[in-house]
A and B are shown apart, each in its own frame.
Chain A
Amino acid sequence: MELLSGGEMVARALEDEGVEYIFGYPGGAVLHIYDALFKDCKVPHILVRHEQAATHAADGYARATGKPGVVLVTSGPGATNAITGIATAYMDSIPMVVLSGQVQSHLIGEDAFQETDMIGISRPIVKHSFMARRTEELPGMIKKAFHIASSGRPGPVVIDIPKDITRPDAKVEYEYPKDVKMRSYSPAQRGHTGQVKKAARLLLAAKRPIIYSGGGVILGEGSELLTRLARELNYPVTNTLMGLGAYPGTDRQFLGMLGMHGFYEANMAMHHSDCILAVGARFDDRVTNTVAKFCPSAKIIHIDVDPASISKTVMADVPIVGPVQSVLTEMLTQVAALREKEPNLPDQGALARWWEQIEEWRADHGLLTGRRYAQSDQIMPQQVIQSLYRATKGDAYVTSDVGQHQMFAAQYYPFDKPRRWINSGGLGTMGFGLPAAMGVKLAFPDMEVACVTGEGSIQMNIQELSTCNQYNTAVKIINLRNNYLGMVKQWQDMQYESRYAMSTYEDSLPDFVKLTESFGHVGIQVKKLEDLDDAMDEAFSLKDRLVFLDVFVDPMEHVYPMHIAPNGSMKDMWLSKNERT
């Protein structure tokens, strides 16, 4: 067996794990590891400009590919800077392995230079964490970390590695384990057949059914099966913010996103439904509005790989714990078997009436069919997203930051494929978009990658323009510039009589064109609607360049629909500034 140092083991284990990129930043506690990477490691390392960006880039990579993202940071500030990105991944169940350096074992607990209790700080925001104590533990620990991060309900795993156990002169035998056995960790492998049967019966008896699917369907690679089930039954589908793309966004059966800024027809259909099939969704407060008023007449079937997600906020009538792929496969079989026995299921007359009602809602206030957003003499933010959709033929990877632009992108860029829409849904992390886009572009260099952002969010990780220059990651940044923290302003308009407490930059914003140019990229400013499409086309015609498209949009626009809170139900929405359901 080969003798390797701890540092060399880390490098080798990442190779053996088939890692494509390491996103990281060196520092004292990880220098032995970095030296091993430099000397002999096939895995390229991407040097970010801030550790938060390393985690977001690894996160974007993971969301786009389905493979765990890998981060390497030093102790102390390196580790704490990574925290926001770890929390972001945790909230959206993204597989990630974070290797953090730690001070030497004998210094732990002595408030040594750049010491921080990474295991303690990260504890509430990781799926699991390991503290390495001996060099020979490293291969098994790394194997376990990747296994835990990517199986069951995925999530981030931290390995904290004291500097002394990576010492180059202390070599021990290295063998990367082939498989993992853990007596305390065994995620569900398949759903309970009896429960699936019960669910199939309930689903076929429905008169006003709806399929409500979330990020779990994308994470569990269940999109195809979900689409097949929906089409076979001709049932309407709505996706959560995290689930967009799990069902084709341009399909007739798709009602759009649901929730706080969901489509009118999606929220109405949910509220009036008599049977909800929830798949890989978690009844988040941004979906349900007031839980006590949530979908009063619906029976709820809830499929999730994480039992703790079931009946957490909304009680499920038929809970099914299992991976979406195996449960949906079995569901298709059960549905087919039941229909063979009772071919008149589901009730086609009732279903036709339900669709008639849905089409009426869609025609009245559907964002993409009926209702049009208000127009002004300025560019409307929605028009920018529509222009982006046109220029990329609806086939780009779109990352976003957090705020109004995120909601406009989710509403006006219908995604036909899973893993194309990449945003921080659970934690709502501003500054996510650009580094995430870097991660996606590195994974798919030949694909178009756009980062839809606002001038608030982009400034939270704008230093990554420098990283994009170093690695020539030619993403397109679409900045919806309104000189306000738009979503904060919207709430201040609606709830604080337009007192804009600290939500405007006045005239302090940088010249984004010059700024982008100084980083070696291309900047384009757009102020008039008639220039928008040309500028968008120009941005995407510059294949090998990062382009920052700074688009001045109407600062007064709000995102609608918007759930009325507190005490509202799914069907209670503002439809415009002066119109409500």
Chain B
Amino acid sequence: MRRIISLLMENEAGALSRVVGLFSQRGYNIETLNVAPTDDPTLSRLTLTTIGDDLRIEQITKQLNKLVDVVKVVDLTEGAHIERDMMLIKVRATGAARDEVKRTTDIFRGQIVDVGPSVYTIQLTGTSDKLDSFVAAMSDADVLEVVRSGVAGIARGEKVLSL
């Protein structure tokens, strides 16, 4: 099952490599990874998606908690949450495809953020599923480049991940 694990860690050199190293060392999979400092400059928020059964996810969260640089860990998929992935996608937009790409972008509520004589660059935000669907919908067009931020997530309601 796909899980979104989010954690706070010390904003220190080497902290990220410990988290990433743990995954490769123990044979866990990382699907997406997103990391940036928080409002507290001493802390970084890292969000990753991974796939595994309950036992494996339990091991992953336990092992992450063991890392001395990691302050708090939460599995967002355990409760109601919001997840967002951001994509920039560059597609060939010439002839009939130019209108079609624009229409599909509107349907997905994306924005064309850069226009060239023969290309569009589209920005799209949403769940990973939505972004996947958009890429699939572009299958007839000529997709030149895709870049995604990786999933960032937050719990719904009063629940917060903080110190």
Contacts and interface: CB of A to CB of B under 8 A. Distances in A.
B21 A307 contact: no
B62 A308 contact: yes
Interface stretch (B67-75, B90-98, B110-118, B125-133): B67-75
Given A311-B58, A312-B59, A182 B68 contact: yes
Contacts of A124: 21, 25
Contacts of B100: none
A185 B63 CA distance: 13
B163 interface: yes
Contacts of A307: 62, 65
A183 interface: yes
Interface in B1-52: 9-10, 13-14, 17-18, 21, 25
B68 A127 contact: yes
A317 interface: no
A491 B108 CA distance: 62
Interface residues of B, number: 20
Contacts of B159: none
B71 A184 contact: yes
A308 B10 contact: no
A47 interface: no
Nearest to B12: A131
A123 B69 contact: no
A184 B14 contact: no
A547 interface: no
Contacts of A184: 9-10, 68-71
A287 interface: no
A124 B25 CA distance: 7
B14 A131 contact: yes
A185 B58 contact: no
A282 to B, nearest CB: 13
Nearest to B58: A311
B66 A308 contact: yes
Interface string A88-124: 0000000000000000000000000000000110011
Contacts of B71: 183-184
A308 B59 CA distance: 6
B32 to A, nearest CB: 22
Contacts of A198: none
A123 B70 CA distance: 15
Highest count of chain B CB atoms <10 Å: which of A123, A127, A184: A184
Contacts of B9: 184
A183 B18 CA distance: 17
B147 interface: no
B21 A123 contact: yes
A184 B21 CA distance: 18
Nearest to B72: A184
A450 interface: no
A437 interface: no
A306 interface: yes
Interface of A: 119-120, 123-124, 127-129, 131, 148, 182-185, 306-308, 311-312, 315
Please provide the 9 A-B residue pairs with the shortest distance between their CB atoms, ordered closest to farther: A308-B62, A128-B68, A184-B71, A124-B25, A185-B68, A307-B62, A123-B21, A308-B63, A308-B66
